[in-house]
Amino acid sequence: MRDDGFTLIEVLASLLIFSLAIIGLTRSSMESVRTASVLQNKSYAAIVADNQIVELKILPLQMGIITGDSIVMGKSFDWKAEVTKTPSKNFYEIKVEVIDKKTQQLIIKRTAFRLAKP
C-alpha cells in the first residue's frame, strides 16, 4: 500500500503550529505599533520642553512657576516650568515638565541653566 499525502492528525498539528506562530507575530507587530506611538509622543513632548527652555533663556528672567499649553502636530500638551536660583551668583535653574493633556500623564522632564543678564 502506498501513502500519498498527510493524515488528519498531521494536518491539524501543522495548523496548530501555524496558528501559534501567527498569534506571536501579530502580538509582536502590535507591540511595535504601540512603542512607535509612545516614542512619537515623547519626541513631541521633547520639542515642547525644548521650546519652553529656549523661551525662558531669551526672555527677561522670571522667577517661580509658569504654566501653559502647546500643540505639536495636532497633539495637545500642558507644560510647567519652574525657574529657581542656584547657590551660584546670577545662575538660575530651569525645570520643565510636559504632560499629555488627554491622559494627564507626565511624559518628559528637562532641566537647563541660565545666567541672569548683568
The domain locations on the chain are 8-115
What pLDDT was estimated at residue 79?
97
CA dist 53 → 23, 59, 81 (Å): 45, 10, 8
pLDDT at 66: 95
Q: What is the mean pLDDT of each run of 10 residues along the chain (118 residues)?
A: 78 92 90 89 95 93 93 93 93 95 92 85
**Predicted local distance difference test score (pLDDT) of residue 33:** 86
Q: Looking at residue 108, what is its pLDDT?
A: 95
Let me know: does 68 contact 79? Beta carbons within 8 Å: yes
pLDDT value of residue 118? 53
CA–CA distance from 35 to each of 32, 98, 102 (Å)? 5, 19, 18
> Does the global pTM surpass 0.85?
no
Is the CB of residue 63 less than 8 Å from the CB of residue 85? yes
Three-state SS at 28: helix
Written out in words, the top-level CATH class of the domain with range 8-115 is alpha beta
Q: What is the structure's pLDDT at 6? A: 82
